Amino acid sequence: MSRFIIVSNRLPITVKSENGVPMLSDSAGGLATALKGPHSKSDSLWIGWPGDISRIEKDRIHELEGKLSEKRFSPVYLSSSEVNKYYEGFSNGVIWPLYHYLVDKVQRSAWADWKAYHEVNQKFADIIASRSSGSDMIWIHDYQLSLLPGLLRKLLPNSKIGFFLHIPFPSSEVFRILPWREEILEGMLGSDLIGFHTYSYLRHFKRAVAKILGSDEDENSEGICINGRNISLGVFPIGIDVERFSSLARKDEVQNEIEGIRHENPDHKILLGVDRLDYTKGLIRRLMSFERLLEREPELRGKVKLIQVVVPSRTKVDSYEHLKKEMDELVGRINSTYGSIKSLPVHYLYRGISQEHLSALYCAADVMLVTPVRDGMNLVAKEFVASRNDENGVLILSEFAGAADELAEALIVNPYDVDRLALFMKKAILMSENEKTSRMKRLRERVFNYDAFHWTSAFVNALEKVAMPLANQPLVISSPDDFEKLFEKIKRVPEIHLFLDYDGTLVPFAETPEIAVPDKELLEIISALSVHHGIDLHLVSGRTRDTLEKWFGHFSLSLHAEHGFFSKMSPESEWIQNHHENPAWKAMLEKLLDEYTLETPGSMVERKSGGVAWHYRMSDPEMGVKQARNIRKRVDIDFQGSKVEMFNGEKVLEFRAKGVNKGAVILKTLQKNPGSSTCIAIGDDRTDEDMFAVLPPGSIGIHVGKKNTRAAFRFADIACTRLFLRKLSEL
């Protein structure tokens, strides 16, 4: 029976030991809040690390597991070394700063922790697989588990897998700094649906996949098609439990504390900042801007106060210790310069505070400062808005926070521009009551309509729709047993007509066509097949006559060049032209493609007797796709009515005369050789689908790779193709 499985780095609880007895308390984080409803209302399982349990007595671990089981939590136990390397090291020392564009903060020493990062992701995968029915819906969260979707896809191919990234996905130019960029992208692409907070993060991800893995980047597509799989992408900005914050602000103890804060500061406009200690939060620039405000606006001195709450975080990391020291010094400088006996301009709290006290601060503040230099979403901004039942207060929000895409009625600022941020502080302080109310009403409408529960249901509903298993998929042939079953069928026929594609089937694609020459192993396989008395061997390729002649002309086989435009049936025979050339359209088309080649660095034109091809494998992925799309539009218009056929290959546009295709080669061969022979056709791309389409009953079509195909069988890769052909030559 399938169920819903939630996977996160940490379980939404804190484990404590009281006299050696394990005790659980709920966490109050954004993810825990957002998923509390779905987890409690369905037969779900939440898998994650329970935190440090070293203080729990060993003979009490079973009690801990019993309490976790009651809450439908399944623990992934991590050693202190794993936590240090996987979490503190690679996750927070490499991925966190890089994804936030702070390349100078990337810890080179943590690069050595990649192995631990991979091993912990594999540990998660193994535990999930052991707890899964094999057809569950699995929702994986955040950057610590980027590899997990791909690892799970191998273990649970029929499960619906969703992944949500809670931090920014950076520009492809920044992401490419990572040595393990391919592995991380391939890990995320094991999902059926990948969610982001904003469209810009989604666009950066698509661009990275196109640039690094070579997928076609189609700006009109809502997802990615790669290796025969369609991965959906979506924008799902996370919300908060708005009713909780709104209700908390109405409590008597909170209202009393609000009055106390205002009574202590009767003549001050209060600016508020609430942040975890982190270099992404823009804390230094915020303090510098406040200092600039006091410097330039002397009339505001003694009338404004900045309350800055900083929650300690990663206190043992050097960069965080340095940030704390820099903040202490800057706060001291501002207070010593602009303070007085009666008041200090910066009220600095370096500690965690209760939810009630936080709510009171939200409600008492005149201006909320949320000015990170980069942030995936930032829920503090939404918490402030939800708390303002009085529809008052001003939100100053960094344009580099994901929340800025939603909360347009805030004062949107560039936190790097210290002077302008100071001006916005002044604007917020002096804003009219009508404008404050107007802005806050619209902000609250947005925050209340798109809360945490809307976020959860939107993602889950999207995952249910896109992650349906595909029907009628080819049988994958990969194991020795699979080969034997196939060979049992082949052994019963007196002769085999074997049709082989070349590029992508027998050899990997190369940057330019002339590089993909046959190696020694392939030549040995072709030689063995060509002399086999029961095999009629045909090589059917888009390559030119001269190339096929040079590489394979000395073997006893039939060569078919340019997708069957030319054929040579034996080493002694001449090349036969199977179709008429049309020099009129060909010359015009070559001229058009030459123009686009000049405009598209890395592209090239391949001229053939019966057609022409435009290759863009070496061009910029985005530009190559765009130019290919423009070429298709031009051809549709300029060559309408011409006897030219156009189709997409692997980073190539092929143009040929209508009626020229690989399927015609098979039909012609069968006309000359009627009888009880069996056809085997092996290929990897669109041109080979023409062969599979005309195979007679009882034949065997084999697609190489993961693209959609009408073939009944599938090989995983070229190595599998070669193994099959070698075994076939030995029958």
pLDDT digits over 487-519, tens only?
Answer: 887 887 888 999 999 999 999 887 777 788 999
The whole-angstrom separation of Cα 114 and Cα 90 is 6
User: pLDDT digit string (tens) for 460-478?
Assistant: 999 998 855 444 566 677 6
Work out whether strand 644-648 and strand 652-657 pair parallel, antiparallel, or are unpaired. antiparallel
Closest CA to 223 of 205, 197, 198: 205
How large is the average pLDDT for residues 690-718?
89
In the 8-state DSSP scheme, what is residue 659?
A: T
The whole-angstrom separation of Cα 530 and Cα 524 is 10
pLDDT of residue 474: 67
Q: Which DSSP helix (H) or strand (E) runs through 616?
A: none
Q: Which CATH superfamily is domain 475-579+660-729 in?
A: HAD superfamily/HAD-like (3.40.50.1000)
Closest CA to 105 of 117, 95, 115: 95
Asked whether the CA dihedral 657, 662, 667, 672 is positive or negative, the reply is positive
User: pLDDT digit string (tens) for 194-237?
Assistant: 999 999 999 999 999 988 987 765 555 678 888 768 899 999 99
| Known catalytic residue at 126 | no
pLDDT of residue 638: 84
Q: What is residue 719's three-state secondary structure?
A: helix
b or e along 30-64 (b: 16 or more beta carbons within 10 Å of the residue's beta carbon)?
bbbbbbbebbeeeebbbbbbbbebeebeeeeeeeb
Q: Which amino acid is present at 182?
A: E
CATH number of the structural domain 242-456: 3.40.50.2000
- Two structure tokens written together for 615: 């290759």
Tokens 């303090």 found at: 287
How large is the average pLDDT for residues 617-645?
85
Indicate the average pLDDT of the chain.
90
In the 8-state DSSP scheme, what is residue 56?
A: S
- Two structure tokens written together for 155: 């273990």
Cα atoms found within 13 Å of the Cα of residue 161, Cβ hemisphere only: 30
User: pLDDT digit string (tens) for 73-105?
Assistant: 999 999 999 999 999 999 999 999 999 999 999
User: pLDDT digit string (tens) for 424-467?
Assistant: 999 999 999 999 999 999 999 999 999 998 999 999 999 998 85
CATH 3.40.50.1000 domain position(s) in the chain: 475-579+660-729
Closest CA to 274 of 194, 369, 191, 135: 369
Give the count of beta carbons closer than 10 Å to the beta carbon of residue 607.
11
The whole-angstrom separation of Cα 621 and Cα 401 is 28
Residue 226's φ and ψ, nearest 5 degrees, are -150, 135
pLDDT of residue 359: 97
User: Is residue 77 a contact partner of residue 50, using CB atoms and an 8 Å limit?
Assistant: yes
Contacts of 637 by beta carbon, 8 Å cutoff, 6+ apart = none
Question: What share of the chain has pLDDT > 70, as a percent?
Answer: 95
User: pLDDT digit string (tens) for 545-576?
Assistant: 999 999 999 999 999 999 888 999 998 999 99
The whole-angstrom separation of Cα 348 and Cα 351 is 9
How is domain 4-235 classified at the architecture level of CATH? Answer: 3-Layer(aba) Sandwich (3.40)
pLDDT of residue 583: 61
User: Is residue 413 a contact partner of residue 396, using CB atoms and an 8 Å limit?
Assistant: yes
pLDDT range class, residue 62, cuts 50, 70, 90: confident
Give the count of beta carbons closer than 10 Å to the beta carbon of residue 632.
14
The whole-angstrom separation of Cα 722 and Cα 713 is 15
User: Looking at the domain covering 583-657, what would its CATH class be?
Assistant: alpha beta
Determine the angle formed by the axes of helices 181-188 and 148-155, rounding to 10 degrees. Answer: 60
Give the count of beta carbons closer than 10 Å to the beta carbon of residue 320.
16
Tokens 């707890």 found at: 131
Q: Which amino acid is present at 157?
A: P
How large is the average pLDDT for residues 248-276?
92
- Two structure tokens written together for 618: 């070496």
Closest CA to 304 of 317, 294, 318, 316: 294
User: Is residue 210 a contact partner of residue 438, using CB atoms and an 8 Å limit?
Assistant: no
Inform me whether the pLDDT recorded for 687 exceeds 50: yes
CATH 3.30.70.1020 domain position(s) in the chain: 583-657
Give the count of beta carbons closer than 10 Å to the beta carbon of residue 130.
9
The whole-angstrom separation of Cα 197 and Cα 167 is 8
pLDDT of residue 494: 80
Closest CA to 530 of 673, 239, 664, 725: 725
User: Is residue 655 a contact partner of residue 635, using CB atoms and an 8 Å limit?
Assistant: yes
Cα atoms found within 13 Å of the Cα of residue 700, Cβ hemisphere only: 26
Q: Residue 14: left (phi > 0), alpha (psi -120 to 50), or beta? A: beta
Q: Which DSSP helix (H) or strand (E) runs through 409?
A: none
pLDDT range class, residue 597, cuts 50, 70, 90: very high
The whole-angstrom separation of Cα 403 and Cα 410 is 10
User: pLDDT digit string (tens) for 18-49?
Assistant: 777 788 887 766 777 778 767 776 678 999 99
CATH 3.40.50.2000 domain position(s) in the chain: 4-235, 242-456
Q: Which DSSP helix (H) or strand (E) runs through 522?
A: helix 520-530
Q: Residue 101: left (phi > 0), alpha (psi -120 to 50), or beta? A: left
Check 136, 366, 501, 688 and give the catalytic one: 501
In the 8-state DSSP scheme, what is residue 106?
A: -
The whole-angstrom separation of Cα 422 and Cα 400 is 17
Inform me whether the pLDDT recorded for 523 exceeds 80: yes
Q: Where are the alpha helices (DSSP H) in 450-493?
A: 452-466, 480-491
Closest CA to 11 of 94, 70, 98: 70
In the 8-state DSSP scheme, what is residue 597?
A: H
Residue 370's Cβ-count burial label (10 Å; 0-12, 13-18, 19+) is buried
pLDDT of residue 471: 47
Work out whether strand 535-540 and strand 44-49 pair parallel, antiparallel, or are unpaired. unpaired
